[in-house]
Amino acid sequence: MSDRDLIIDRYKDLLKTYLKGKSETALYKGQQFSRKLIEQQISPDDVLSDHVSVLHELFPDMSEELKDSFDFLLEVMIGYGFAYREHQSLRTRQR
């Protein structure tokens, strides 16, 4: 299992736990997990893409329109992915 697969699996577990109990603790774990994702240099469009994969699995009956709305958001988020990678490169140059 690749690092990326492990991360998606962990994300799925955290999301499922939140959906089951809707506790503040589970939300807080999501917040902490974002640090880990950022450390791993995973860009925001990749997070969204993983989130959508998990949604397709958890909610297979989701409407086509809703699925399409994610394609649009993903397109918008890709621009942020570029900005994010530029940020990584600026940080590296400053070290």
Q: Rounded to an integer, what distance in angstroms lies between the CA atom of residue 69 and that of residue 87?
A: 27
Give me the least distance between CB of 17 and a second copy, in Å please.
9
Give me the least distance between CB of 41 and a second copy, in Å please.
11
**Can you tell me which of 2, 25, 35, 95 binds a second copy, judged by CB under 8 A?**
35
Q: Rounded to an integer, what distance in angstroms lies between the CA atom of residue 62 and that of residue 31?
A: 26
10 binds a second copy (CB under 8 A): no
Question: DSSP states of 41-90 as a string?
Answer: T--HHHHHHHHHHHHHHH-TT--HHHHHHHHHHHHHHHHHHHHHHHHHHH
49 binds a second copy (CB under 8 A): no
Q: Rounded to an integer, what distance in angstroms lies between the CA atom of residue 68 and that of residue 38?
A: 27
Positions touching a second copy (CB under 8 A) are: 11, 14-15, 18-19, 22, 26-28, 30-31, 33-35, 37-38, 44, 47-48, 51, 55, 58-59, 62-63, 65-66, 68-69, 71-73, 75-80, 83-84, 86-87, 90-91, 94
